[in-house]
Amino acid sequence: MPEKEKSRVGLNDPRLVVRKFLARPQHEGLGAIVRRSIGRFELRYFDPFLVLDEFSVTAPAGFPDHPHRGFETVTYMLQGTVIHEDFDGHKGTIGPGDLQWMTAGRGIVHSEMPASQGTQKGLQLWINLSSKNKMIEPRYQEMSSKDIAEATNDGIKVRVIAGEALGTKSPIYTRTPTMFLDFTLESGARLQQPVPESWNAFVYVLEGEGVFGRSKSTPVTAHYLLLLGSGDGLEAWNKSSKLLRFILVGGEPLREPLVQFGPFVMNTQEEIDQTIDDFENYRNGFEKARHWRSESGLGLDF
Ligand code: FJE
Ligand code: FE
């Protein structure tokens, strides 16, 4: 390969793993189980990311009627199907490999429940919105598995949920600039993936074992979250004999004050007080919550 091209694909300053967390199962919602990595006590916030849950729901468990304001939720299914239903009549299913990118903005009230028997598994990522976007109109971007762009090269497969990898771009619009890549590396494969220098980035391992950051570092297995330090991208290796699957997520930090009360994430305590008042009195985006109940008819105390 000519030297010029090498420098184009190569990384000059690969990011190292600076912290590592094992996400252990905990109860959330109504009988659901989540492995929460970002959003737990030791890792309250990794700007702009509020929560990363690897969830597992088996009927009748689920996430019945509950609100959101001030951020986005990204639901990416790994196995099974979830039915979602909101107070504006927006309804549908999210099946294996499907994506729902929901900008809650000023307010969404919805339910997220298992659609079938067996265990439904997926990832849900909460991405904070900047102060200027917290009260925007809610919006959904949905993609079924077959429409999610995939690229392959040298033992690497990537599903491009958001951002760009191996020359393939996702059509998802990220109001808080974000990349979300689902990588599968065959045995022996080595990945070099650029990540903008100023962004925060993490890896969450789904399957197999991988070596991240430095070729000599200890292999990491499923359910581990790795926070990456500064640099221009991620270098990863599959030195095992099995497939390695992980997500790489990066986002531009907002660097704004944050006050969170459960599913409401604002910049100040006054805005949180206002949000609770809006929700309780069906105002400023919560009007439609007054007469709405999901088909499950259940609610969630948050
Ligand atoms: C929520 C408790 C919750 N992780 N992963 C309190 F469980 C939830 C919530 C979820 C959730 C939903 C899915 Cl489909 C997947 C999740 C938490 O709905 F929003 C609050 N406030
Ligand atoms: Fe929700």
Pocket lining: 60 vs ligand 1, CB cutoff 6 Å: no
Q: Tell me if 28 is assigned to a ligand binding site.
A: no
The pLDDT, as a whole number, for residue 113 is 96
Pocket lining: 107 vs ligand 1, CB cutoff 6 Å: no
pLDDT digits 0-9 by tens, 50-67: 999 999 999 999 999 999
The pLDDT, as a whole number, for residue 2 is 47
The pLDDT, as a whole number, for residue 294 is 94
Pocket lining: 262 vs ligand 1, CB cutoff 6 Å: yes
The pLDDT, as a whole number, for residue 173 is 98
Ligand 1, from 33, 36, 40, 63: best to mutate by most atoms within 8 Å of Cβ?
63
CA of 43 to the centre of ligand 2 (A): 20
User: Ligand 1: which residue has its CA nearest to atom 14?
Assistant: 112
Question: Which alpha helices (DSSP H) does 81-178 contain, by range?
Answer: none
Q: Tell me if 66 is assigned to a ligand binding site.
A: yes
User: Ligand 1: which residue has its CA nearest to atom 7?
Assistant: 29
Pocket lining: 286 vs ligand 1, CB cutoff 6 Å: no
Q: Tell me if 27 is assigned to a ligand binding site.
A: no
CA distance 262 to 15: 32
pLDDT digits 0-9 by tens, 148-171: 999 999 999 999 999 999 999 999
The pLDDT, as a whole number, for residue 299 is 77
What residue type is assigned to position 302 of the chain?
A: F
Domains of the chain: 22-251 (2.60.120.10)
CA distance 69 to 265: 6
Give the global pTM: 0.96
Which atom of ligand 1 is nearest the CA belonging to 82?
Answer: 14
The pLDDT, as a whole number, for residue 298 is 79
The pLDDT, as a whole number, for residue 187 is 98
User: Ligand 1: which residue has its CA nearest to atom 12?
Assistant: 63
User: Ligand 1: which residue has its CA nearest to atom 4?
Assistant: 53
CA of 195 to the centre of ligand 1 (A): 28
The pLDDT, as a whole number, for residue 295 is 85
Residue with the two structure tokens 């600039």? 177
Pocket lining: 75 vs ligand 1, CB cutoff 6 Å: yes
Beta bridge partners of 179: 250
Residue with the two structure tokens 């971007």? 141
Which atom of ligand 1 is nearest the CA belonging to 262?
Answer: 21
CA of 110 to the centre of ligand 2 (A): 6
Ligand 1, from 36, 56, 66, 99: best to mutate by most atoms within 8 Å of Cβ?
66
Sign, CA dihedral 185-187-192-195, equals positive
Q: Enter the tokens of residue 223.
A: 């359910």
Phi and psi (nearest 5°) for 275?
Answer: -65, -45
pLDDT digits 0-9 by tens, 16-43: 999 999 999 999 999 999 999 999 999 9
Pocket lining: 46 vs ligand 1, CB cutoff 6 Å: no
Spatial CA neighbour of 21 closest among 36, 5, 32, 4: 36
Spans of the chain below 50 pLDDT: 1-8
Residue 14: exposure state from Cβ atoms within 10 A (0-12, 13-18, ≥19): buried
